[in-house]
Amino acid sequence: DAGITQSPRHKVTETGTPVTLRCHQTENHRYMYWYRQDPGHGLRLIHYSYGVKDTDKGEVSDGYSVSRSKTEDFLLTLESATSSQTSVYFCAISVDRDGLFTFGSGTRLTVV
Amino acid sequence: AQSVTQPDIHITVSEGASLELRCNYSYGATPYLFWYVQSPGQGLQLLLKYFSGDTLVQGIKGFEAEFKRSQSSFNLRKPSVHWSDAAEYFCAVGSIKAAGNKLTFGGGTRVLVKP
């Protein structure tokens, strides 16, 4: 999607290894989000950020951490990946008073 | 807390027939409501949104949705389905807050289109 790049697009990793997913935006928006998508659950919020170094937990934050040292980058880290974290991860941005969200293309993560 | 329920996990419809996808939400104030579509292996595309005003909202690809406050519903409709409408559809409720906009999704409805 315009203005949002997720990397990598696909990753296979082993249980217990650390993994970092990157979301990069070119829009200079304040709000950034990480969601995971699983069958039957739709998209569920993991963490979000409302500014540089300002982050908060979503509904499924256990096992995940985030960092935002620059406006344009929002990193999602799985400190020790587990099979339950196999999922598709979407990054999103939102305009302050608009309420509209724009999503990245997703990262498919498989933990074996 | 805001939440969304999409009662139908799967719907099969014949090409040319009408389609209605159900969505019920829970939110304490006037909600911002959205429908997104996701084709296989793709990201999410916004179909339409309701913020205020006319309760019948027109979107892209010939879709429309009607906001009914009394029923806490925001059902999506299309009069005549095309094979390319086969996809997964997500209803979402949003809020705008100083500490961060929020968007909560339903579990999705997968639409299969029969020729």
Over residues B59-108, the pLDDT tens digits come to 999 999 999 999 999 999 999 999 999 999 999 998 877 667 889 999 99
Nearest CA in chain B to A96: B101
A-chain residues within 8 Å CB-CB of B105? 35, 42-44
Q: What is the DSSP annotation of A18-60?
A: -EEEEEEESS--SEEEEEEEETTTEEEEEEEEEETTEEEE-TT
- Residue B35 half-sphere exposure, CB side, CA atoms within 13 Å? 30
Would you call A90 and B103 a contact, using CB atoms and an 8 Å cutoff?
no
Residue B81 tokens, joined: 């389905």
Kindly determine whether residue B103 and residue A97, on different chains, have CB atoms separated by under 8 Å.
Answer: no
Give residue ranges of B with CB < 8 Å to any A CB.
4, 6, 9, 32, 34, 42-44, 46, 49, 51, 90, 94-96, 99-108
What is the spatial distance between Cα B48 and Cα B58, in angstroms, rounded to a whole number?
7
Per-residue pLDDT tens digits of chain A, which is 112 residues long: 458 999 999 999 999 999 999 999 998 888 999 999 998 899 999 999 988 999 999 999 999 999 999 999 999 999 999 999 999 999 999 876 667 889 999 999 999 9
Q: What is the pLDDT of residues B11-69, one digit of tens each?
A: 999 999 999 999 999 987 778 999 999 998 888 999 999 988 889 999 999 999 999 99
